[in-house]
Amino acid sequence: KQEVTQIPAALSVPEGENLVLNCSFTDSAIYNLQWFRQDPGKGLTSLLLIQSSQREQTSGRLNASLDKSSGRSTLYIAASQPGDSATYLCAVRGYAGGTSYGKLTFGQGTILTVHP
Amino acid sequence: GAGVSQSPSNKVTEKGKDVELRCDPISGHTALYWYRQSLGQGLEFLIYFQGNSAPDKSGLPSDRFSAERTGGSVSTLTIQRTQQEDSAVYLCASSFRDSGAKNIQYFGAGTRLSVL
């Protein structure tokens, strides 16, 4: 059974800092890995999706890396801003038999607070 | 609408009552997923629909939970004889299709269910 762990559970930083969120997963047979952002009372917003064959993806100030063999991914946020405050969730999509269903297995999330 | 719509946004019910949660996916999305987010359990997969069929129901916690999808669009998650442990946020997501290298799931804002 796939298990996803995120470290740290919570992080509070001053504005402008560069920061790293960590995600690890136990079964390396994944189809892809996604990083989501969740704001209070709202749904999840997909930030980055990394295919199992890729090493990293970048979008603006965000960079996500994937080391499938070691079961790890990191989300790097450059020059953090108060608007980045949210819960960040890592999710992996695995294989189900011969069909790749879209079922995602999520980590518990990292609650990020960026203060001015 | 432009996004995944869920109703109601909040539902308070008494233990033992039945509840129905509704999800309107993005138009044209053939894949639909239900997840549950509860304290201490994180975000858990419940069921996946491709069209009107459900190839993966493995996440439904008990036979009190059922879901259907009609017309390849709207889905309803029904919880019978609700229990206090059913209290959670129920999230629905849809994607253009399940297979494919860039399957991104778009999430609704969720229904917050409180069982008294």
Using one digit for the tens of pLDDT, what is the confidence trace for A46-103? Answer: 999 998 889 999 999 999 999 999 999 999 999 999 999 999 999 998 865 555 566 8
Q: Is the dihedral of CA B113, B108, A100, A34 positive or negative?
A: negative
B109: nearest CB among A41, A96, A101: A41
Residue B84: pLDDT above 70? Answer: yes
CB atoms A101 and B56 under 8 Å:
yes
CB contact under 8 A, A46 and B105: yes
Question: In this predicted structure, what is the pLDDT of residue B98?
Answer: 63
| Model pLDDT, residue B56 | 86
pLDDT digits (tens, 9 = 90+) for A13-36: 999 999 999 999 999 888 889 999
Q: Do A107 and B110 touch (CB under 8 A)?
A: no
Q: Give the CA-trace dihedral at B4, A46, A90, B27, to 10 degrees.
A: 30
Report yes or no: B108 at the A interface, CB cutoff 8 Å: yes
Burial of B75 (0-12, 13-18, 19+ CB in 10 A): buried
